[in-house]
Amino acid sequence: MSESVLVALRDASFAYEEGPPVLTGLDFEVREGRALALLGRNGSGKTTLMRLLSGGLRPDSGELSVEGRPVRYDRKGLTALRTTVQLVVQDPDDQLFAASVGQDVSFGPLNLGLSDGEVRARVAEALAALDITALADRPTHLLSYGQRKRTAIAGAVAMRPRVLILDEPTAGLDPDGQERLLTTLDGLREGGTTVVMATHDVDLALRWADDAALLTPAGVGHGPVADVLARTDLLRAAGLRLPWGVAAGLFLRARGLAAGPAGGPRTPEELAALAALPAAGRRTP
């Protein structure tokens, strides 16, 4: 899979009116085909960053580019950006407004001036991708929370973006709903959509993402997810803990238990079993 830079912010700064800078001199890249987890404490600038990437905000200085071409903030330029990058906010009720699921999902494609046949095809495709085809005629106010989340994502998917940015998509979902959504995101990735997920769940980020971007007061730690989420200095600065798997590995390594009987690394199940053993009398299986 290609790993070319799809969307990038270069030396970007932003402050809300009469407020202090939220982001200063930021360099940030979204690479094609890489699942990216965006992490940071509340107030670190994650939401601002996502809105800058999707064109909802314009940097006070610096530049947003798509495949190396600077974004123009006129109507034509922003329309082009939104066919490339789509943002789904955390609360689906902030995004849904139409009377039915199908009408809501069709809103974006209709605004592109597509033919009725193309709009119907995109809506059907998006509903199927999110596994909500049966809800096409359902009034949005009668949906469960999980169904509203899926409908909001379907509306973005119907735009056929190359980059899909999701703000805390698993928040408020039960474990089964989370797993179903992650399976859906895997399907979108297999279809060629690059997914960026903002989350506070370091364990989810480690399991799901290829790369991680960790926003701290000193800047952004960006790289392969296993490397970034093993950086205790970055996690501490971001107000986050070590992922369970990393902490368990460090705990066992310190006690000489990280290697399995054959000398290779232990499986997550083996790590979990060993971490649960009492400290006294522990022996390597």
| Pairwise pLDDT comparison (257 vs 197), residue with the higher score | 197
CB-CB contact of 12 with 62 (8 Å): yes
Whole-number Å distance between alpha carbons of 213 and 199:
11
Whole-number percent of the chain with pLDDT over 70 = 86
pLDDT tens-digit map of 142-175 = 999 999 999 999 999 999 999 999 999 998 888 8
Helix (H) or strand (E) holding 247: helix 244-254
Say whether 142 sits in a helix, a strand or coil. Answer: helix
Here the tokens at position 177 are: 């709903």
pLDDT of residue 42: 85
State mean pLDDT over 54-76.
95
- pTM equals 0.85
Angle, vertex CA 153, rays to CA 40 and CA 51, nearest 5: 45
Angle between the N-to-C axes of helices 145-157 and 116-129, in degrees from 0 to 180, rounded to the nearest 10: 130
Confidence of residue 41 (pLDDT cuts 50, 70, 90): confident
- From first CA to last CA, the distance across the chain in angstroms is 40
> Average per-residue pLDDT in the chain?
87
Residue 224 gets the label, from left (phi > 0), alpha (psi -120 to 50) or beta, of: beta
pLDDT of residue 269: 55
